[in-house]
Every structure is written in C-alpha cells, then in structure tokens.
Amino acid sequence: MSRRIVVVGGVALGSKAACRAKRVDPEADVYLIDRDEYISYGGCGIPFYISGDVSDVSELRSTSFHMLRDERFFLKDKGVVALTGTEVTRIDRQGKTVAIRRKDGTTDTLAYDKLVLATGTTPRMLPLPGRDLENVFTVANLHDALAIKEKVTEGSIGKAVVVGGGFIGLEMAEALADMWEIETSIVEVFDQIMPGFVSPSLATMARKTIEDKGVRVYTSEKVEALVGEGAVSAVKTDKRTLDADMVIMAVGVVPNTGLAKEAGLEVTPQGWIVVNDQMQTSDPDIYSGGDCAAVKNLVTGELGYFPLGSMANRQGRVIGTNVTGGSARFDGAVGSFVVKIFDNALAGAGLTADRASAAGFDAVGIQVAQFDRAHFYIEKEVIFLELVVDEKTRRVLGIQGFGGKDSGMVARINAVAPLLKYKPGVEEISNLELAYSPPFASAMDIINALGNAASNYLDGRYRPMTMEAFAACWENRSCGDTFFLDCRANADAQPFADKYPEIWKSIPHDQLVDRMDEVPKGKKLVLLCNTGVRSYEAQLNLNAKGITDNVSAGAGIAGLKTWGVDFGLDK
C-alpha cells in the first residue's frame, strides 16, 4: 500500500516538503492542507508588491514559467492534493489521524503515515487600545498584501506609521515612502533598528540612509495607543503623537503551535516546536520545520529561531526526503539575512557582539571600511563590515555589514556564513579566498582586511574605536580631554583643524614619524583618516614610541559620515 503523507500548512515549508516527498516516492498519497485559500505564495515578496517592484500579486503565486500555483497546479504538476480553506483542528497521534474542518463547516478525519507540521506563525499584535481600528494592518499573507495595496493605490493614505524596525518594518516603510510618497514614520521600542541583527553602529548607518530618504525613525519609543474613530488617525507613543492614516504592525511573530502542544509534542519555552537533525519532532512520525520550529544555532550550539523563507525551503526538502524513507540531515543554521535599504544592503550571519556576549562569549565587534571593488576601478563604493570575534579563542562568531547597491555585500556575507559552523579563527578570514578581478573585489579584499584588523586587535597592535563610541566622544568633545589627530592629506584635514583648532590637528601619516614631537601629549588621542588604514598605521608609529593612549576611528571618516556624525563642514 502507498504511504500517506499529510502536510499541515501550505506556504513555504509545507509545499516544498509535499512536492519533494511526491518526487522521492511517486507512489505516495500526499496531502497539503491549509486553512487559507492562498497557498504557496512568496510572502517575502509582499513589500515589493506594495512598492511596485512586483507588478501583480499573482506573480507571488506563480512559478518562474508563469504558472499559477493553485490546487490544480499542485495536482497536475506536482501530484499533490492541496486542500485549501481547510483547517486541521486536532492530531490523534495514537490513531495517526488528523481532524479537519472545511470553510463550509464540514469536518472529517484523515489518516496519515507521516505528518508534517508547517503551520508557521501569526504576526504579533500588541494589546493596544485601538488595535481593531480600520487601516491597522499586519503583513503576513496575501490578504494583508491586497488590503494594503488597495489602500495605498486609492490615494487616501497621506501618512503612515510602521510599528517595528525589524526587516519587515523597514521594507514596508521603504515601499510606502519611496513608491507612494507617503509620509512614513517607524517607531521601534529598542534603541536601534534591526535589534539583535546588527550592531548599533551598522543600525545607525541604515537608519541615516532611511532618514535621508525622508522616513522618520523613532527608537527607544513605545507605542501606547492607536487613536481614531472607525479608522486609525494617529499613533500615541510614550513621547509624542504621530498622525497616521495607516498603521503597519511589524513587531514579530508568534508560532502557530497550538496543534503541536495539544498533541503533546515537545516545544521550547517560547513555544517553538523542537526537532532533531532529521527535522523529526518528539513523535518520530511527525516532522516539523519552517517558522513554527526551532533548529540548532550552529554558532552557540543552542536551539535557535530563524523565521526565514529560505530556511523553510531547505528544511522542507529535507523533510520531503525523510518522510519518504530517506535520512537527510539539517544540522542547523547561522541565520544569514539581507535586507535592502533603498540603494544599500544590510546583511549578516551568526551573532552580533551583543548577542554573543549574552551567550557567554568574550565578544568584540571589529569594524572596517573599504571600497567594494578595486579602488582604481571606475565603479565602486565604500562598504562597511563588522566581524564579531571571541577574544579568548579568536573564533569568528558572526559578520554583519552595510552598503553597496548590488550583490557585493552578500558576496562577502555568503563567504563567511557557511564557514561559521567550522569555528574558524580570524586568520581564516584573513586568508579567505574570494574571487578577485577589479570589477568585483579588491586584491586584498575588505573581507581580508576585516580578518586582518581583527587579528591586529587581538594581537594588541590595533586599538580601534567603534562608530558609536566615536559619536559619543564627538558629542563630548568640548570637555577637552580628547584630541583628534587627522592622518589624511593636509587638503582633507586642514578644514577640520581650522574649524576645531583646540582639538583637531592635521599631521598627514607620511609626515608623522618626522613630526612626532608635534603629537599632543597628555591627551587621549583619537586618530582619524578616511577608511582607517592610515590611522591604524599612525597608531603603530605611536606604539613604537611608547605612546599608547590613543584609539583609531575604526571605519574612518567615510564610516562616520555614513553613520551621520556631523562635523559641521560641508564636505
């Protein structure tokens, strides 16, 4: 008899697992069940549908060869029976059946040999007064997408507030502001956008880019109520009231694991389904993955939670293989991500310094700036990377970066992400073998410079200062105990020295050894140049003279300007 595979949830993990299972075992009966009428859609494309970069919602449901992925498609193209508008209400593990309820109210039970839980998540809705007002949206599925798009195309939305500065919030804010010219604000309760994903320095760079495009960003600010009559008209925070014709709530997700819990499957304290490295739950006949499950974080070794569509697809295939008798493995993840921020990429993998410290590592983040291509090549731009390393073991724990308008940033993040599970040391990043030709990289690529800077720091040769730290120091510059030594060419440095004669001095790096006696004594020195190379070399020159009470502005003035430090000078 053919085996029966029942998959609950039909978006990313579920549909992938179902299709793969049928391919591996063409004899199997495969059911794909979803309570929604839309299945198999690219939810990740919703912000781009709103922005117009995806022209029609049907494209999010179509294959690359323009076939709509509806029930007929699953049946005819994939041999999978898709039951939409059908909720699974209970699992009977003993009897190996699930209970289903159709939209029309009819119910049934369906036997399974292997069951797959791909129930995903529900967007978190803050328990705020006014949350049920019209024009308050979450962004999770095509219903949301259609409803939001309809509103913005109507032209009645002049102002919008996005609650949450995570990746969905940022993408939605960009879509509303850039395409629809809606006056958009982001309110984030943490003190930075993309909390947990990137350092404060990189978050501030992204924030400035967003603000430069006219989107207002309010961090460390808590939404207290949504205000309006019928429809929302304003958002009240603990600091102000923002007018709003539309509110997008993008404050995270909660796993849909009621079914799993009721069935007595093991879940984490936060509610995610626990699976082993074959994606099996605590019941070996039940598999799970995607947004509703936790997998091992390959950096910490602990369970982690990575609600990513790419992850769901890869896990789905592993499950499809295994429910048909295979033994494919999914060892875990490091959480590679990327988000487009207007013409830039914000990306990363592994742990941030903050997360790594919280996980017990002795973590530090080293920041560097460099051109993404050969500096002599016609097209290029300065990009920024941060390497998170453990000071005790020199182990690389994560990498994050900002900048670059094409795939140059992911080209670097992708090179490090798959290595992280092998516990590389910083020297492995110094020697990382990227493909080099002037239109694509530098001979000593920024990724190698990043490893080198980290090794210099760990060797006690380099004392960098993060962009956040510089900004704080610059704010307090009038207190007089810090002195800025500018190692750039005099033409670049002199305007700064002229404007801040008490605290800023120009000694080009190629003159430093000869002019050592001009270096201010008894002050904490901050060494500066454009990207951090000359200021590092100046630090070595000072080290050699025993002058060590100084730091080098890590990502240079290029970094500080992108960050938003205001030097009060035009260029």
Ligand X SMILES: CC(C)(COP(=O)(O)OP(=O)(O)OC[C@H]1O[C@@H](n2cnc3c(N)ncnc32)[C@H](O)[C@@H]1OP(=O)(O)O)[C@@H](O)C(=O)NCCC(=O)NCCS
Ligand Y SMILES: Cc1cc2nc3c(=O)[nH]c(=O)nc-3n(C[C@H](O)[C@H](O)[C@H](O)COP(=O)(O)OP(=O)(O)OC[C@H]3O[C@@H](n4cnc5c(N)ncnc54)[C@H](O)[C@@H]3O)c2cc1C
Q: Which is nearer to ligand Y, 58 or 357 (CB)?
A: 58
The one of a second copy, ligand X, Ca ion, none whose footprint includes residue 412, by CB under 5 to 8 A per kind, is a second copy
Candidates 12, 100, 265, 311; binder of ligand X (CB under 6 A) is 12
Long-range CB contact pairs, 258-266, < 8 A, 24+: 259/8, 259/88, 259/89, 259/90, 259/91, 259/117, 259/119, 260/91, 260/117, 260/119, 260/288, 260/292, 262/90, 262/91, 263/90, 263/91, 263/93, 264/93, 265/117
Candidates 177, 312, 411, 429; binder of ligand Y (CB under 6 A) is 312
Does 315 participate in binding ligand X (rule CB under 6 A)?
no
The vertex-401 CA angle with 397 and 404, nearest 5°, equals: 155
The one of ligand Y, ligand X, a second copy, none whose footprint includes residue 40, by CB under 5 to 8 A per kind, is ligand X
Q: Which amino acid is at 52?
A: G
Does 374 participate in binding ligand Y (rule CB under 6 A)?
no
| Residue 468: strand, helix, or coil | helix
Q: Which is nearer to ligand X, 288 or 456 (CB)?
A: 456
Q: Which has the closest alpha carbon to 50: 133, 147, 135, 118? A: 147
Question: 């803050």: which residue's tokens?
Answer: 126
For 242, residues 6+ apart whose C-beta sits below 8 A from its C-beta are 159, 161, 185, 187, 234, 235
> Which residues between 123 and 142 bind ligand Y (CB under 6 A)?
139-140
Torsion of CA 207, 340, 440, 555, to 10 degrees: 20
Q: Which is nearer to Ca ion, 82 or 194 (CB)?
A: 194
Q: Which is nearer to ligand X, 195 or 559 (CB)?
A: 559
Q: Which is nearer to a second copy, 378 or 479 (CB)?
A: 378
Does 35 participate in binding ligand X (rule CB under 6 A)?
no
Q: Which is nearer to Ca ion, 275 or 383 (CB)?
A: 383
> Which residues between 84 and 103 bind ligand Y (CB under 6 A)?
87-88
Stretch of 115-123, 176-184, 261-269, 484-492 lying at the interface with ligand Y (CB under 6 A): 115-123
* Least gap, CB of 164 to ligand X (angstroms): 19
Candidates 44, 126, 225, 469; binder of ligand X (CB under 6 A) is 44
The vertex-44 CA angle with 125 and 51, nearest 5°, equals: 90
- Distance in angstroms (rounded) separating the CA atoms of residues 279 and 290: 10
**Could you tell me where the DSSP H helices lie in 333-407?**
353-358
The one of a second copy, ligand X, Ca ion, none whose footprint includes residue 344, by CB under 5 to 8 A per kind, is Ca ion
From residue 443, alpha-carbon distances to 8, 256, 379, 433, 551 in Å are 50, 48, 16, 10, 27
Tokens of 115: 């069951």
Does 532 participate in binding ligand X (rule CB under 6 A)?
yes
Q: 509: how many CB neighbours lie within 10 A of its CB? A: 20
Binding mask 415-454 for ligand Y (x = CB under 6 A): ---------------------xx-----------------
| # residues contacting ligand Y (CB under 6 A) | 35
In this structure, are residues 24 and 321 in contact, taking their beta carbons and an 8 Å threshold? Answer: yes
* Least gap, CB of 330 to ligand Y (angstroms): 13
Tokens of 148: 């939001």
Q: Which is nearer to ligand Y, 16 or 509 (CB)?
A: 16
> Which residues between 14 and 43 bind ligand Y (CB under 6 A)?
14, 33-36, 43
From residue 77, alpha-carbon distances to 61, 68, 312 in Å are 14, 11, 21
Candidates 344, 448, 530, 562; binder of Ca ion (CB under 5 A) is 344
Candidates 62, 352, 530, 531; binder of ligand X (CB under 6 A) is 531
- Distance in angstroms (rounded) separating the CA atoms of residues 278 and 329: 5
> Which residues between 449 and 488 bind ligand X (CB under 6 A)?
449, 452-453, 456
The one of a second copy, Ca ion, ligand X, none whose footprint includes residue 241, by CB under 5 to 8 A per kind, is none
Does 121 participate in binding ligand Y (rule CB under 6 A)?
yes
Does 320 participate in binding ligand Y (rule CB under 6 A)?
no
Candidates 1, 378, 435, 443; binder of ligand X (CB under 6 A) is 443
Does 42 participate in binding ligand X (rule CB under 6 A)?
yes
In this structure, are residues 256 and 294 in contact, taking their beta carbons and an 8 Å threshold? Answer: no
Tokens of 522: 């008894």
In this structure, are residues 188 and 164 in contact, taking their beta carbons and an 8 Å threshold? Answer: yes
Does 412 participate in binding ligand X (rule CB under 6 A)?
no
User: What is the DSSP track for 290-354?
Assistant: GGGEEEEBTTTSSEE----HHHHHHHHHHHHHHTTT-------B---EEEEETTEEEEEEE--HH
DSSP structural state of residue 45: G
Tokens of 465: 């200062």
Stretch of 48-56, 128-136, 182-190, 402-410 lying at the interface with Ca ion (CB under 5 A): 402-410
Does 78 participate in binding ligand X (rule CB under 6 A)?
yes
- Distance in angstroms (rounded) separating the CA atoms of residues 234 and 440: 47
Q: Which is nearer to ligand Y, 273 or 467 (CB)?
A: 273
Residues that bind ligand X (CB under 6 A): 11-12, 15-16, 19-20, 23, 40-45, 69, 78, 309, 313, 317, 368-370, 443-444, 449, 452-453, 456, 531-533, 536
Residues that bind ligand Y (CB under 6 A): 8-14, 33-36, 43-44, 46-47, 87-88, 118-121, 139-140, 168, 256, 259, 290-291, 307-310, 312, 436-437
Residues that bind Ca ion (CB under 5 A): 343-344, 405
